[in-house]
Structure 1
Amino acid sequence: PQIGADWAIDFELTDDEQGYYLLVRDGSILPGGAAEALTVNVPPVKGSDFARDLALIDSRRSNAPSLGIQNTQQSQFIQFGDQRDL
C-alpha cells in the first residue's frame, strides 16, 4: 500500500501476535495496511521494510504509556505501548 507519494509500507496481519499498531509520526495510525480513522480495534501486524517515519507500537504492556493520540471521532485517547526495534 502506498502512503503519500514517495514512501510505502509492507506488513502482514498475523494470527499469533496481538496489540501491534502502525503509528506514523504525524499522529495517524495505519491499521491493516490502510490509512483509516483511529480505532481501538486495530488489527495486529508484523512489519518489514518500514519507512523511517513509521513506528511499531506494542500496546499489550500493562504499563503502556499514552502517546496522546486522540480519536477525534469518539473523543477518546488510545493507550499505546513501548516502541520496539524492528
Structure 2
Amino acid sequence: MSDSLTRLDLLKFARRVVEQQAAVSLGQLDRWIADEERREAERRQREERQPSPPEWLLERGLNKINLVAVHTGACWDPGSGTCR
C-alpha cells in the first residue's frame, strides 16, 4: 500500500465497495421477490381455475357394472369405504 493513502481514504473506499455490493444484493433480492410474486400469482390462478369437486361420487365394483357405494364429493378416499 502506498503511504499517501490515509485511513480516511481507505474508509471511504471501503464504504464505496460496501455500497456497490449492497446495490447488487438489493437488485438480486428484488428479482427474487418479483419471481416469487409471479409464482404466487400463477399458483392462485391455477387454484381459481380448478373445477369445484363434484357433489357425489359413484364407486363401482371390479366389473365396472355393479354400484358399490355413493360418496359425497368431499370424500378424500372413496375406495376406503370409510366416507359417509
TM-score, structure 2 normalization: 0.20
Larger Rg: 2
Looking at secondary structure, tell me which structure has more strand per residue. 1
Structure with greater helix share of residues: 2
The answer to which structure, 1 or 2, has the higher relative contact order (CA under 8 A, 6+ apart) is 1
